[in-house]
Structure 1
Amino acid sequence: MTDSRKKRPRLVAEKRTTSRKTAAPKSTSKPRKPARRKKRPVRKGGVGGRISGGITGLFRWIARLIWSVVWRFGAIATLLVGGAVLYFASTLPEATALVDGRARGSVTMLDRNGEVFAWRGEQFGGMITADTVSRHLKHAVLATEDRRFYWHPGVDPVGVASAVRINLSEGRGPLSGHGGSTITQQTAKLLCLGVPYDPTAWKSEAAYEADCRETSLWRKIKEATYALALEVKYTKDEILTIYLNRTFLGAGSRGFEAASQRYFGKSASEVNPGEAAMLAGLLTAPTRYAPTNNLERSQNRATVIVGLMQDQGYLTTEEAERARRSPARLSEAAERRAGGYFADWVMSEGPDFLTRDTTEDVIVRTTLDQRLQTAAEDAMRVIFDDKVREGSKAQAAIVVMSADGAVRAMVGGRKTDVSGVFNRAVQAKRQTGSAFKPFVYAAALELGHSPNDTIVDEPLTINIPGSGPWSPSNYTNKHYGRVTLTHALKDSLNIPAVKISEFVGRDVVQKIASDFGIDSDLAEGPALALGASESTLLEMTGAYAGILNGGSSVEPYGLTELRLMGETESLIEGTSSGIGERVIQEDAARQLIYMMEKVVTEGTGKRAELPDRQVAGKTGTSQSARDAWFIGFSADYVAGVWMGYDDNTPLTGVTGAGLPAEIWRETMIRVHEGLPARPLPMLAPKTPAPAPQTAETQRAPARQDNQAERVLLDVLRNIFGGN
């Protein structure tokens, strides 16, 4: 038997120690070569290399950090801009609601023939679209402002970069000067980024518009966002339509239709390449390049625009050359700028809510005759250029009207192409001098006296209660004895005029003058007969019109119709005549015209005589020659001229018989060009004038007194005393 306690083999391996080496098991396969361990490249430079590597790593880390921030920020900004664009787009109305950018309305004035001659307020000529505007004007705007308009999304990075480069090269800030704005961005600015004008929030419309034109970086960002919104909401042509209608183009013109009407008298749909180039040239600086300010400068700018249109293929070489050879010219109304003083007067005469303060577009038809206006302006210019010393500050005014009071021309000062300034024809109240005397003689004729009745021109003293004795004298300081009323008026004798005024009664003279339209306060003393009262040239000319029309009062007028643009019905009752109530009988008026005709042919007004027709009038020179007048008429027109200094300085060597009569003559010669000569409606006296006096009869005037003379002298002595 075997021994059961014989040791059995272990089930686990023997414990091995690290010091014990065991033989590798035998293998029948070919032994493998041990794998070679890669050696790390040894960096050159030692410590320096490690620093360089660290810096590079740092920059890589910073770049990754920046990129991670930028793309996140960009994503957020894109979301914000996109949200803002969508918000702005949702607030925008239909495109047609944005074409008129004015806060207030306008007034367009037509002359007696229906032609435009003046504008007030910002004009909006009516909507013009990208489809209906002249193709030349459309191309001129694109060539000048935004050649890539139909290709960019509202903001043009190429244009912005180019503008920044130009600004920096010219020594300005990147946003100063050239803005690189697209037409869409300019439209956004014209819309003031959707902020409407609020009178309670802004001092004025000018302050509001100045804020709209701000060019800060933040404003540019908002402008670009709003421009993108416009592109989302509207088509390109709709954006261009808004731009064409809202942009300001100088001389009160808002939009290209108004500007085209203002400068060329035609629609923006009809302009030729030269006119289109001139209009587009206004976009850079409307006031500077306005052709009404400097036509040559505006034409030079237009030549540049023609070149741009040619370079961009909008004009052929032949068309461009033709535009350069025939530059745009102003319309007659724009070239003359007629009606400045007249237009101011009409605006002041109409109702405020339809003229100065209108919020509507109003059409005003007036009595102005542009041919006569030019005649008056030319006459003023000729006399002051040829016969007034250089440097003189003397002023003058002219009014021309029809016998019914319709004012046909008005010049309120030496500068004729102005508006909004002091108008001496209607605002200056000045002493009338002897120009008042016809109303004294009108009173006598109305009471039955004849132009051939006589009165003695002799020394006269009247005691004025509270003032003492007053002794008038003639301009020549001489006395002429017995003279007819006609003689006394034609030679402008003072003493006979005072005697007649005292005889018929000052109250009668005052009433006749007032009824003829002289509304100013009339003098109370005997100097009333010598024109001590003050009046305006318009009043005096209107009063003389009453004499011409046969003795009826006249209310000078200039406005005949006032209506809203597009309407046919007048908003006020139209005026077709200013003739009012009768003041003196027709025979008395016609006899007075006879007497006033002698003033021109034989008396103080000879310098006013016309070569081909009858005229009548009266000179006037106030005390100390501070005012000089000539007022007169033909069978067709009445004209008045005043001359003096604004500060009442006496005139030197000037009376009504001098330069005022010459201005009147120059005016009336031009006024009557082409008109057939018509006789004055005058009535000669039935009884012949007495024979001229001899020296002997002049020494004994008392023996020849007629009954009326004796009565007059008795009245004077009883009331006033004296010799």
Structure 2
Amino acid sequence: MSDSSRGKKPLVADRRYSKKAAAKKKPAGKTKRRKATRTPRRGGIVGFFRFVIGWVLRLIWKIVWRTGVLVAIVLGLLVGYNYTSLPPVEKLLDGRARGSVTLLDRDGAVFAWRGDQYGGAVTADSVSPHLKNAVIATEDKRFYRHFGVSPRGIASAVRINLSEGRGPLSGHGGSTITQQTAKLLCLGREFDPAEWKSEKEYVADCRRGSVQRKAEEAIYALAMELKYSKNEILSIYLNRAYFGGGAYGAEAATQRYFGKPANAANPAEAAMLAGLLTAPSALAPTSDIERSQARAATVLRLMREQGYISAAQEQTFQDNPATLSEAAEKRAGGYFADWVMSDAPEFFTTTTADVVIRTTLDQRLQEAAEAGVKKVFDEKVRPGSKAQAAVVVMSADGAVRAMVGGRKTKVSGAFNRAVQAKRQTGSAFKPFVYAAALDLGYSPLDTVVDEPYCLNIPGSGEWCPRNYTNRFSGPVTVAEALRESLNIPAVKISEAVGRDLVRQVAAAFGLDSDLAAGPALALGASESTLLNMTGAYAGILNGGSAVKPYGLVELRMAGDDAPLMEATGGIQERVIQQQAAQQLVWMMEKVVSEGTGARAQFGGWQIAGKTGTTQAARDAWFVGFTADYVAGVWMGYDDNTPLTGVTGGGLPAEIWREVMIGVHDGLAPQPLPMMGPSGPSGEVLYDEGRPPPISGQGGAQNILNQVLNDIFGGGGGGGGGAPAPSGADR
């Protein structure tokens, strides 16, 4: 056996089969390995997921590129449609929904603008380069580099909104100047009264911030980028943008605030204008100059960061911020312009045409009124006080010459306390009680007893008025009762002549605002505006005829010579006889020359007036007149907080004096149209300017005494008193 195996090679695995069989096996092995690479079994779980992910990605890609192509086609069609609808640039510059209103003073000089002002077309090349740079730095620093929509800006805005706890599209919008221009154009939709009830609704619809609206704006912006150049888009924006104060467009704004054309704005002014774009009404310098300057400082910083100005320039203009020009300050118009606009027919103040209104305003008197209020508050009122004051100055025919509606005077659209605040009048109402009595034939020298006195009011119980001093004077003349502002005599006379008659006289003079029904009517428990109170006193000055205060003299369309409308106010029907009015003036003169209104005296002028202080000193009044002008002053807090140490004969009388000193500057003193009391035969017992004796006898004394005694009973003076009624006053 050993010999038989000698010389043979050992048996190995690859020799088990013949070469032919081995050849047949190898292809099978190779085929098996190729099949293994095509099944997930060889790669295990990792290979399976790779296969699935790859398949999903290929599917997504197929869907995305097909959808992208479809979206691109639709987007192209929409952009193309908007492109064809865009008009030439020139037709898009003036987009005002209504025209401007130019207000002229009594001498024909412009003092205010209202409505939508448009100073004329400007271009991106014609405005000051500082204004152009400020707008770009503030609103869209990549304006010249994007295609109308800025994905980076949108992403940044979404990030900021989310970080500040708002929705992704709430707050910062990331809109480019092109998109903002599209919004200003309302995507090409004009105001249609059939679709929108008002311009306000139209504007609100144009300013919507929904996702759909943002998409529409983006499409319109892309069309604008294709249709217009960058400078043309910026030109539309600079002409359409609202800069506050009624100014639409850069030219109107620079003229409105700085009294210069848009091509002359310096960096500080340009920064202020650009800063207004975020909140034009709230930031307008005519409303809050300090806030405007603070916003402008931020814009200057942005201009420096983007290389438009140097650090030294930034510091210079932050140290010297823009301010309203002197002409712009005077032409703010303030409360007077707002009142005239609210009093003018709505048709003329909302028309798309430009309107010119000539008014009764005297700018010299307006400055005097503002200066008088400021002087008293600066010198007599503690710093930080929130007390307010209002002033109205008018002629005897009701032509309003000046108006101050609050301590902050260079404003527009602010709360006007002279015409919007209805406050209790206190003893400033008493002249109308005496007007009713004098018109019935009573004399200023008739006697009434000032004594403790109560009335039983059905449903309310006993009501006992008392005097400001808590003392009683016994028998006093009617003239003395008014001079010392005694409450009990005023109530007694009101009850004697009849409350209804007192209400009729007061309402006829213009005090027709819910006059009190009870006996407190005589003490000024009713409310009135300062404008109406001043107008009522003007009726006394002009001889007893009612007056309707007015500020509009004539209204015409710009460019026309013939007025469309003329003054609607002035002297109306007679309320009391002229003799009664002149006797009342005589009595009211004693209030100032000898009584509670003594602080109102100035410069040798004869002055008639009346003080008024309501319960707890929530309101303090002084209303009075000379032969030339009537003026009313109200002082108090907006929230009805009681004044401290203030009565109508105090600070209001001092404000009145300071105002009227300025008003009468350069005028020679004139006598008041007053008449002293007459005796039974009609002869004048006392000359003008000479007070009657307190115990003097008048022609109608016996009649009045008999009426008062029949109603109230006689009585002497005494001390003590009862709780003060609403309107208790000095």
Taking structure 1 as the reference length, what is the TM-score of the superposition?
0.71
Q: Where do 5+ consecutive residues of structure 1 fail to align?
A: 1-48, 52-58
SS at match of 1:254: coil
CA contact (8 A) 1:85 1:229 kept: yes
SS at match of 2:585: helix
2:685 to 676, 687, 692: 687
Look up the equivalent residue of 1:408 and give its one-letter code.
R
1:425 to 399, 418, 428: 418
Matched, 1:678 2:669: yes
Matched, 1:241 2:232: no
Residues 28-86 of structure 1, C-alpha deviation per residue, up to 9 Å, x if partnerless? xxxxxxxxxxxxxxxxxxxxx999xxxxxxx9999999999999887766655543333
Task: Indicate the residue corresponding to 2:430 in structure 1.
Answer: 437
SS at match of 2:700: helix
Look up the equivalent residue of 1:608 and give its one-letter code.
A
2:300 to 289, 299, 303: 303
Look up the equivalent residue of 1:687 and give its one-letter code.
L
SS at match of 1:630: strand
| Equivalent residues in 2 for 1:188-337, closer than 5 Å | 188-194=182-188, 212=207, 214=209, 223-234=217-228, 238-269=232-263, 271-272=265-266, 274-283=268-277, 286=280, 290-291=284-285, 292-293=287-288, 294-301=291-298, 303-304=300-301, 307=304, 311=307, 327-332=321-326, 335=329
Taking structure 2 as the reference length, what is the TM-score of the superposition?
0.71
Matched, 1:604 2:604: no
| Equivalent residues in 2 for 1:152-551, closer than 5 Å | 154-155=147-148, 183-194=177-188, 212=207, 214=209, 223-234=217-228, 238-269=232-263, 271-272=265-266, 274-283=268-277, 286=280, 290-291=284-285, 292-293=287-288, 294-301=291-298, 303-304=300-301, 307=304, 311=307, 327-332=321-326, 335=329, 340-355=334-349, 362-370=355-363, 372-373=365-366, 375-377=368-370, 379-380=372-373, 383=376, 387=380, 396-413=389-406, 423-443=416-436, 453=445, 455=447, 457-459=449-451, 474-480=467-473, 485-494=478-487, 497=490, 509-520=502-513, 522=515, 529-551=522-544
Task: Indicate the residue corresponding to 1:573 in structure 2.
Answer: 566
CA contact (8 A) 2:449 2:714 kept: no
* In structure 2, distance between residues paired with 1:404 and 1:623: 32
Task: Indicate the residue corresponding to 1:636 in structure 2.
Answer: 628
Look up the equivalent residue of 1:403 and give its one-letter code.
A
Look up the equivalent residue of 1:405 and give its one-letter code.
G
Deviation of 1:234 after TM superposition, in Å, equals: 3.9
Gap change, CA 1:165 and 1:675, over 3 Å in 2: same
Deviation of 1:605 after TM superposition, in Å, equals: 0.8
Deviation of 1:604 after TM superposition, in Å, equals: 0.8
Look up the equivalent residue of 2:685 and give its one-letter code.
T
SS at match of 1:561: strand
* In structure 1, distance between residues paired with 2:523 and 2:118: 52
Deviation of 1:91 after TM superposition, in Å, equals: 1.6
Deviation of 1:269 after TM superposition, in Å, equals: 5.0
Structure with larger Rg = 1
* In structure 1, distance between residues paired with 2:637 and 2:316: 50
Deviation of 1:539 after TM superposition, in Å, equals: 1.9
* In structure 2, distance between residues paired with 1:671 and 1:446: 32
Task: Indicate the residue corresponding to 1:86 in structure 2.
Answer: 80
* In structure 2, distance between residues paired with 1:534 and 1:73: 71
| Equivalent residues in 2 for 1:124-143, closer than 5 Å | 124-130=118-124, 133-134=127-128, 137-138=131-132, 141=135
SS at match of 1:629: strand
After TM superposition, the structure 1 stretch with the greater mean CA deviation from structure 2, 205-214 or 84-93, is: 205-214
2:609 to 607, 612, 617: 617
Gap change, CA 1:431 and 1:215, over 3 Å in 2: closer
CA contact (8 A) 1:280 1:305 kept: no
Q: Which has the higher contact order (CA 8 A, sep 6+)?
A: 2
1:714 to 697, 702, 706: 706
CA contact (8 A) 1:365 1:561 kept: yes
SS at match of 2:653: helix
Look up the equivalent residue of 2:250 and give its one-letter code.
F
After TM superposition, the structure 1 stretch with the greater mean CA deviation from structure 2, 593-602 or 617-626, is: 617-626
Deviation of 1:614 after TM superposition, in Å, equals: 3.9
SS at match of 1:248: coil
Gap change, CA 1:191 and 1:583, over 3 Å in 2: closer
* In structure 2, distance between residues paired with 1:301 and 1:482: 71
SS at match of 2:270: helix
Residues 476-513 of structure 1, C-alpha deviation per residue, up to 9 Å, x if partnerless? 45454665554443222345555666776766655544
After TM superposition, the structure 1 stretch with the greater mean CA deviation from structure 2, 172-181 or 511-520, is: 172-181
CA contact (8 A) 2:589 2:607 kept: yes
User: Percent of aligned positions with the same letter in both sequences?
Assistant: 61
* In structure 2, distance between residues paired with 1:404 and 1:108: 24
Gap change, CA 1:651 and 1:74, over 3 Å in 2: closer
CA contact (8 A) 1:264 1:334 kept: yes
Look up the equivalent residue of 2:486 and give its one-letter code.
L
CA contact (8 A) 1:350 1:559 kept: yes
Residues 546-595 of structure 1, C-alpha deviation per residue, up to 9 Å, x if partnerless? 223343321111223344556555443334x6122344555654454343
Deviation of 1:545 after TM superposition, in Å, equals: 1.2
Residues 295-337 of structure 1, C-alpha deviation per residue, up to 9 Å, x if partnerless? 432442453476589x56xx99999999778643213476589
SS at match of 1:227: helix
Look up the equivalent residue of 2:399 and give its one-letter code.
A
Deviation of 1:106 after TM superposition, in Å, equals: 6.0
* In structure 2, distance between residues paired with 1:60 and 1:706: 116
Aligned length: 658
Residues 185-232 of structure 1, C-alpha deviation per residue, up to 9 Å, x if partnerless? 44234334445567888899579658757486x877755543342244
* In structure 2, distance between residues paired with 1:61 and 1:343: 74
SS at match of 2:418: coil
What is the root-mean-square deviation in Å for CA atoms of aligned residues? 5.4
CA contact (8 A) 2:442 2:704 kept: no
